[in-house]
Every structure is written in structure tokens, then in C-alpha cells.
Structure 1
Amino acid sequence: LIVNDGDTDDPATHTNTAYGWAKTYTNVFRTGLPGTSAKYQATYLGSLENFLAGRATSSTSGSIGYDRAAESHYQELQLRERTYPVPPAVFLVREYYGGLCNGVPDCTETSRRQRLEAALAEGVAIGPDVVVIQGPGLWSPPADVVGEANVVANATVEALEHHPGPLANFPHTLLVIAILALLLLVPGGLARRWFGLDSTIDRFALIPGVSVVLVMLAGVGTLAVWRGPLTMTKGWAVVVVAIGIGVALRFADAWLRRPLDAFGRFFDDLFAVFSNRDFSVLMGYQFLAQAGQGVVQGAIFKALVFGGEKGFDISVAPSADYLLKVVLALYIPYTFLSPFVGVFIDRFERRRVAWWADILSAAMVASIVILVVFPLGSGSPEHRTWPTAGLIVGLLVAQSVARIALAIKSAALPDVLSGRDLLQGNGLSQAGGGLAQVFGIGVGTIVAGQIAPWVGVLFGAAVLLAGAMVSRQMRRVEARRHDGSLGQEVRRILRTVVAGVEEVAGRPAAALGLSAFQMLRYQFWGFVLMTFALYAKNLVQGGNADTLSQILSGVGGLVGGALGLIVAQRLKDRVPPIRLLLGSMLLLGAATVVLGGILTVAAFAALLFVGFFSFFLGKISTDTITQQAMPDDFRGRAFALYDIAYNLGFIVPAAILSVIWIEGNAARTREILVASGAIFLILTAFVAAWSRRIRPDLAPQDDLVGDEAAELARSTES
């Protein structure tokens, strides 16, 4: 198809519309052709003279838009000619051939008409204003074909100009009405009971709309499976599918409503705990703290990895050795602070601890912006001690406020839930907190990349301030009120730290929960995820490891965590937490051994999915076991020890990997994964044997039992 248009730019917008007209003309030209014919068709944008000369048309006024459109169309034409080396049929339509004044000085309507008639004269007419161009190497239609084409074209023009009335072909009109009635009434009429359309007005108003929706859904589904051009056969198939859906919904009460009701009840039961105001406020505080941590850390990590300039340039990413050192510098200091945080949670009013933690963290993060992020500018902190140290302090502050929030949550959860459904509460907390943190990291990274890191860090500080406001609404987050003064409690800190450690050690179930959590952290977050992050660039072309890591870990975390939440909800009243823990550990170890030796994207995707699922289920099981084992006055210190385990879960694997890691070495990567999985399975067997020895200390369900459950019940009633 030969088309053309003006080659000058619009003086107001400085754009050219030739590409748009060429696309429109091509779409109209293809109307009515079978879909299989599209691969043979090409459009030439430009003058007929240049087409016959075998060259692209260039703008006579210097329009870049016209030149690009003409060149791209010409390249597509050349591709068609190489793919199908036969004489082409070249069409020229009067209405599609514009641009007749391109490059012509003092162009008049007469000269424009003369140029158009000269172009049409280069071909043989096959209808009004449509010709097939003649010339060397071009297909020439036989005389009988030309005659038939003109007869059909003239008949079509006559039919359009003298269109028959509505009663001219009455049987056909009745057929069309019957088909429309079939489409608009039958699918929706069959499904009306399912949608509760019982009254006459409901049926009259909504059955046609329901029918249209069912036909559209049937069409999308049918054509998604049965690919290719739309034919009459496929059209009737869509109608049959739509009617079939209507029939299925008519009898859906017998086969669909029961599973849907069960599905709805499951999620009603799962989220029913949010009707508890105290639980909802506690979760809101935790989610905002983790979201704020994510925003701050996402923005700072962007500055650490990609520098302070706009965008994400992988070529400036620092070495693996530098990143491992950053991890160690981040997690080692907080390991020594965690026990003291636990004392504050146990010895002071937890609401006050939450408030001041968020307020002070927001202030410190804002100070980091002024002292470090602004002076860093667009540069990279690698090989620069003070900027790196300042950014690590910012990461440490964000890490600390989130860990404090999680410790407060874990210590207060039995109180706000009155000791019931701890596994369910821990699962919702873990899932919601993970989503909040991932969302925060995404927001912080995007804001830092598209605007500037300092904007992302300040936004994270604002989120922390919002969390502080929410913390003021917390109630019943401890079994009894703590009225000690700051001076009194500071003098008792070291003694109470030791008492907390002794309390955990003296309660076998709590010690088992803490130890199992430490093992889970080492294996999944340490060896599996770190090894994947270090090896990811070897799995993709061009070393785009950052995108692969985000996709696989994000999808694996979302799907695995969601499945873990569902499994925990289904099994919480039938399977003791210790069995869920052992099952998750066994699954993680086996998956690491089996999949760790297969260094492919698919294998890592499967390993991350299983890992996130196992860690999620195992983590909420250890939380529940520890909460059941520890009295309220010691839970803050117990979960502060969890923070130590959390940090060691990064520190120890990072230290080991910094020594044994060989960049890009597949054999060493397999050895690390398989060996760590095998050791983890041995540790799982040890935990199983330990649990059998202390069976009387382990609760058979996810509620508090014994004296503390009764105490919480009395405090709730009062």
C-alpha cells in the first residue's frame, strides 16, 4: 500500500502526523482481510516516484518525525520483500495519497490535482479511486480479475449510496434480532438465580448486562486459548461458552456456593482478629515502623549501591566484598544493643517505649540527611570512610526502630489477644509486616532513584512519625503496669539482662524456640538468600542481577509467605506449633540440598519460594512457642534475644561467605548451598530429639495455657 502525507512539522507542536495517518490508512486497508494475510502486507510511506526508484522518501522540509516514519516503513517493506521474494501487488488509493505539495514551490490546487492524476495513471483501476500500480517487478492483474474487481467495487458503491430500507431483507433482519436476543437474554437469564435477580424489575434491568459480561468473559477466555484470527466458528464457540457458563451458574448452588462459602469463612476467620481494637492498633504501629524502615533503608541502599545520582547504573555498583563489610558493620553493633532494648520493653510502659523509639529514630534519620546524604551529593560512598559510616548509622537506626517494634509486638501480642490464637496473630503480623517492609523498600528505592536519596530518607522519617502517633493509641500491651523511674531501671539494667537470659535458659520450650529461630535465620536469610544475591548476576545475560534478585525474592516472598499464612490458619487448631516448626525446617533443608546443586533461574526461584514458605511457617511457630513459654515480664527480653539471633543470622553467614566465597564460581556456590542444607537437616534432627525430651513443656495448640492464660483473662475482664 502506497500512502503519503505532508512532510512539514506543525508550527505549534513541532510534530509531524505522517506516522499516524500511515497507521490509520493501513488499518483501514486491512479491514476485511483474513488475519493470516497481515504478514504479507507492508505499507510504503512516501512518494510513488521514490517507491518505484527503490529508495526511502526524505522530508523536503527537514522534518525528523516524517523521516523516521518513512524510514521505518521502508525497512519493514524491505523485510517483506526478502521474506517473500515474489512480485508484489502494489495498491494506491486516491484518499490515502497526500503530500502532493511536498517540495513543490508555489503549489496550487491545479498542480496538486495533476500530480495525483499522474500517480493514478501509473496503474490499472480495480474500482473507484483505487488502482494497482504497473511496472517492472510488480504484479499485474489479469484482465478478467480487473473486470471482476470493478464489478464488485461498483456494486459495493451502489449499495452504500442507495442503501436498502429496514424491510428490504426482512428475514435477515429477524435473524439478526434473534441472534441479539440470544446474546442479551439467554446467558444472563440462565444465571439470574446465582446473581439474585428475583424481581421483575431486576430481571428487566440487569439480565442484558449480565449477558454482555458473560459473553465478554467467554470471548476473552476462548480467544486466549484458541489463538488466531476471529472466524464465524470461533464466534459461535464464544456464544456456546457463554451459555455454558450461564447453565453452570444456574446449578451452581449444588457445586460452587459451598466451596465459595468455605473460602469466605476461612478469610473471615483469618482476619476476624482485626476486630480487636488493641490488636489492630498494635499491628498498625508495627506495620508503619517496618514501612518506615523499608523506605529509609531502600533510599540509603540506593545511595550505597548506585551512588547519589539519579537512576540505577549497575556499572557503578560496588564489589561484593564491600557489600559484605557493610552487612557486618550494620548488624554487629545492634547485636550488643538488643538485650538492653528488651529490658526497656519489660521495665517501662511499652507504649512509651514505642513512642520515643519512633520519635528519636525520625530525628536521627533527619540528621543523617543533613550531615551525610546532602554532602555526598551524586557520588558513591565506596572508598570513603565517613560517608559510608554515616549511611551505616542511618541503616542501623532504621533497623533498630523496626526491631524494637517487632520486639514490642511479640511481647505484647499475648496481652492484646488475651492469650488466644497466637499462631494466627503471629502469622498476620509476619505477613503484614513483610508486605509493609517490601512496599517501603520499593517506595524508598524508587523515590531515591527518580528524585534523590535524601527525599526518600526524609519520607521514611515522616512514616516513622506517623507510627509514633499510632503508638499513642495502644492499650493493654502488658499484663501489669510498670511505674519504676528511669534512674531506678537504668541501675537494674545489667541485672535484668542476666535475669532475662537465665529465664529463657530455664524454660526449655523458650530455649528451643530461640535456637530453632537462629537455625532458620542462618540457613535461609544467611546462606540461601546471601548466596543467591552474590551469584544472581551469573544467572542472567548482561549481569542485570538487581532486577533478577528483586523479581525472584519479591515473588517468592509474596507467594511463599501467603501460602504459609493460609497453612498456619488451617492447621493452627489441629497441629501443635512444634510440629509445624519441624516440618518447615525439614522442608527448607531438603529443598536446599536438592535445588542447591542446580544453579539455574528456575531452581533458585523454586528454592526461594520454598524458603520463604518454610521460614514464614517456622518463624511464627517459634514465636508462638516462646510466647507460650515466657511470662509477660520477661517477653521483651526474650524477643530482644531474638534480635540477637536475627543479627547473627546475617553476621555469621556473611563472615563465613567473605572467607569462602569465590566470585562467579559455580562449583563453590553448589558446595555452599548443599553443605549448608545438609548441616541444617542434621540440626533439624537435633531439634526434633530435643522436642521429644521436653514434650510436657510444649503446648498442644496456639493459645496460652496455665496460670498466665487465667491472669490475662482476668485482666481483660477488668
Structure 2
Amino acid sequence: TALLVLETAPDWLFYASALAVTAVNRFVLAGLSASLPRVVDPERLVMANSLSPTAGTLAATAGGGLAFALRLVIDADAATVILGAVLYLCAALASLRLAPGLLGPDPGAVQPGLAAVITSTARGLADGVRHLNARRPAARVLLAMTLMRFCYGGLTVMLLMLCRYAWADGRGTGAGGLALLGLAVGVSGAGFFAAAVVTPWAVTRLGPYRWIVVCSATAAVLEPALGLPFAPAPMLIAAFVLGLITQGAKITTDTVIQSTVDDSFRGRIFSLYDVLFNMAFVGAAAVAALMLPPDGRSTILVITVSLIYAAVAAFMTRFPRG
């Protein structure tokens, strides 16, 4: 990707390369989630799933700050991309310190040869779906998390529109609106950190199902109360609450899947999880784009999202304490 920037390649080739980088990142995250039960005791899974995304957020923030500082010193986009390439290389070298079988799966579950792996991918994912259907706790939390991610995506797009238009100069160029957007992203990130602290305690006392019920029910009540005024201060509070709720539900979902899915299927289930997680966010963005007026104030979207959160809470209350 850095070479394409230096050579001023066609846009389509650069974007294809950038998408490949993103795809590699998703594979790494899916592998991390699938392998975590191999290196963490079952009773510490919730804590590990709380720390892992927190560490990732810190690393992403540090990387963004480093790239910004480099941009001030060297006024060239390629330098930032080359820095990323060097860091990827460092990660690859660090991974060589891990024993090949340390993160699983069991040797008997490994396909012999690259060709066999490629040809069995579709069949393997289908087997993963069938395995997920037989592991109902994992299927339930995955469905709940997908719906909650959809809600988070729709509200994120609405907040973006409000910051750029309703709270700016109406032309999408107001610095005040963009500053509010940056503040909202930071506040939502603070909610993610709060979830890492609260979720292990909550899951221990309530169980994973009841904690998801609390998260979704809280969002169903607070989201319209804070969102319908379409004012900056309540919306910033909503950003913190939704960050905490969404991340708290995700930590719980990761833990349930890791503890209920067989080791030989866990990688495929997390790949499917990753696809659903991102499709829900992108789908929400598309739906929100159709529903939102130019200034971002949409009562219908706020109420619809609240009803989805309420439906998730009602669905999860049907099951006993997990």
C-alpha cells in the first residue's frame, strides 16, 4: 500500500490494497478471539475479553497520535503508511515467538495443505453455522449482539449528521460541529473503557444473559430520553452510555461463544461473527442514510432503534440465567 502511494497508482488499485489491509486486521482479531480460551483460564475469560479490546483501543489511539506527529514533521502521506508497514512487520516478527500449536486448534482439526483449506472454506463455514445452531447460548448472544450493533451503527450515522449540519453552519464545514464529533467519539471511547471495568463484575453477579438484558433495556429507555431533544449535551451523555452498553454486550458475547463452542469450530464461528458484526454496522449506515433528513434530526430513527433495543431485552429475558 505504501508503494502504491509513492507510485501514484490508480485509485481502484489503492483502495483494493487498503481493503486487503483491513481484511488482514479482521482475520487477526477473529484469530485472537478464537484462541483466547487456549491461553486464559475459563474463570478469567470475561476479564480477558475486557482487557483485550481496551488494549486494542489504546494501541489504536497511540498509533493515531504517532501518525499525526509524523505528519507534522514529514508532510507526506506515504511516510505514515510506511510507518504502518514497519509496525506490521514488527508484529509479524513478534508472532514468530509463539509456538505453532500454542493458539490451536487441535492438530486433528487442521486441514493438510493450503489447497485443502481453500476448497473446504465454504463447507467449513456451513459446518460452523450448523454447529452454532446446536450451541443455542452462542446463537442467542450472537443474534442479540448483531441487533445491538445495528442500533449503534444507525445512531452513529445520526450523530455524524447532527455534528456536521444541525450543530454546525449547515454546509458541513463548521469546525465547531467537527470538534463536537471528535468529542463524541472520545466520550463513546470512554464508555468502552467503562465497560471493560464494569462487565466482569456485572457478569459475575447477573450472568451473561441478564447483563445483556440490562444493557439493552437501559439503551431502550435512555436512548430516546437523551436523543429526542437533538441537543449536544444529552447526545454526548448518550454516546457514553451507548459505548458502555455496546462494548459490555460484546465482551459478554465473546465470552459465551468462547466457552460454549468447540475448539475446532471456534475460528469459523468468530469469522462468521466478524462478518455479521460489520454487516450490521454497514447495513445500519445504509438504512440511516435513507431515513435521515439533511440535518440528521430523525424521530423515527430514534424510536425504531429504541424498539429494537427493547426487543433484544425481551428476547433475552426468555432464557434462564446463563
Residue 183 of structure 2 is aligned with which of 545, 548, 551? 551
Please tell me whether the aligned partners of residues 158 and 296 of structure 2 are also in contact (alpha carbons under 8 angstroms).
no
Q: Does 1:485 align with 2:116?
A: no
Q: Which letter maps to 2:242?
A: G
Distance 2:97 2:3 in 1: 27
Residue 217 of structure 2 is aligned with which of 561, 576, 586? 586
Please tell me whether the aligned partners of residues 46 and 252 of structure 2 are also in contact (alpha carbons under 8 angstroms).
yes
SS of match in other structure, 1:606: helix
Please tell me whether the aligned partners of residues 154 and 287 of structure 2 are also in contact (alpha carbons under 8 angstroms).
no
Residue 685 of structure 1 is aligned with which of 307, 314, 318? 314
Alpha-carbon distance change, 680 to 446 in structure 1, aligned in 2, over 3 angstroms: farther
Structure 2 segments unaligned to the other structure (5+ residues): none
Which structure has the higher relative contact order (CA within 8 Å, separation 6+)? 2
Please tell me whether the aligned partners of residues 586 and 681 of structure 1 are also in contact (alpha carbons under 8 angstroms).
yes
1:436 positional shift: 1.8
After TM superposition, the structure 1 = structure 2 runs for residues 293-372 of structure 1, keeping only pairs within 5 Å, are 365-371=1-7
Structure 1 partner of 2:273: 642
Q: What is the count of residue pairs matched by the alignment?
A: 312
Q: Does 1:440 align with 2:63?
A: yes
SS of match in other structure, 2:195: helix
Bigger mean CA offset, 438-447 vs 393-402:
438-447
Alpha-carbon distance change, 529 to 443 in structure 1, aligned in 2, over 3 angstroms: farther
After TM superposition, the structure 1 = structure 2 runs for residues 93-492 of structure 1, keeping only pairs within 5 Å, are 365-371=1-7, 374=8, 386-387=10-11, 389-445=12-68, 447-448=70-71, 451-475=75-99, 476-481=102-107, 482=110, 484-492=112-120
What RMSD over aligned residues (CA atoms) do the two structures have, in Å? 2.2
Q: Does 1:528 align with 2:173?
A: no
Deviation digits for residues 73-108 of structure 1, max 9, x if unmatched?
xxxxxxxxxxxxxxxxxxxxxxxxxxxxxxxxxxxx
Q: Does 1:632 align with 2:256?
A: no
SS of match in other structure, 1:511: helix
Distance 2:199 2:72 in 1: 38
1:479 positional shift: 4.9
Alpha-carbon distance change, 555 to 655 in structure 1, aligned in 2, over 3 angstroms: closer
1:624 positional shift: 0.7
Structure 2 partner of 1:662: 293
SS of match in other structure, 1:676: helix
TM-score, with structure 1 as normaliser: 0.41
Distance 2:267 2:91 in 1: 20
Deviation digits for residues 260-286 of structure 1, max 9, x if unmatched?
xxxxxxxxxxxxxxxxxxxxxxxxxxx
Distance 1:641 1:469 in 2: 28
Deviation digits for residues 323-377 of structure 1, max 9, x if unmatched?
xxxxxxxxxxxxxxxxxxxxxxxxxxxxxxxxxxxxxxxxxx2343245xx35xx
Please tell me whether the aligned partners of residues 513 and 625 of structure 1 are also in contact (alpha carbons under 8 angstroms).
yes
Deviation digits for residues 533-585 of structure 1, max 9, x if unmatched?
12212224672233221122113312x12221221233343331222222112
Deviation digits for residues 150-194 of structure 1, max 9, x if unmatched?
xxxxxxxxxxxxxxxxxxxxxxxxxxxxxxxxxxxxxxxxxxxxx
Distance 2:225 2:257 in 1: 31
Distance 1:437 1:688 in 2: 36
SS of match in other structure, 2:43: coil
Deviation digits for residues 275-302 of structure 1, max 9, x if unmatched?
xxxxxxxxxxxxxxxxxxxxxxxxxxxx
1:420 positional shift: 3.2
1:636 positional shift: 0.5
Distance 2:221 2:88 in 1: 40
Structure 2 partner of 1:503: 131
1:509 positional shift: 0.9
Please tell me whether the aligned partners of residues 510 and 630 of structure 1 are also in contact (alpha carbons under 8 angstroms).
yes
Distance 1:589 1:647 in 2: 22
Please tell me whether the aligned partners of residues 411 and 639 of structure 1 are also in contact (alpha carbons under 8 angstroms).
yes
Greater gyration radius: 1
Distance 2:14 2:160 in 1: 21
1:486 positional shift: 1.4
1:679 positional shift: 2.6
Q: Which letter maps to 1:557?
A: G
Q: Percent identity?
A: 25
SS of match in other structure, 1:406: helix
Q: Which letter maps to 2:103?
A: V
Alpha-carbon distance change, 577 to 416 in structure 1, aligned in 2, over 3 angstroms: same
Please tell me whether the aligned partners of residues 588 and 610 of structure 1 are also in contact (alpha carbons under 8 angstroms).
yes
Q: Which letter maps to 1:415?
A: R
SS of match in other structure, 2:205: coil
Distance 2:6 2:54 in 1: 34
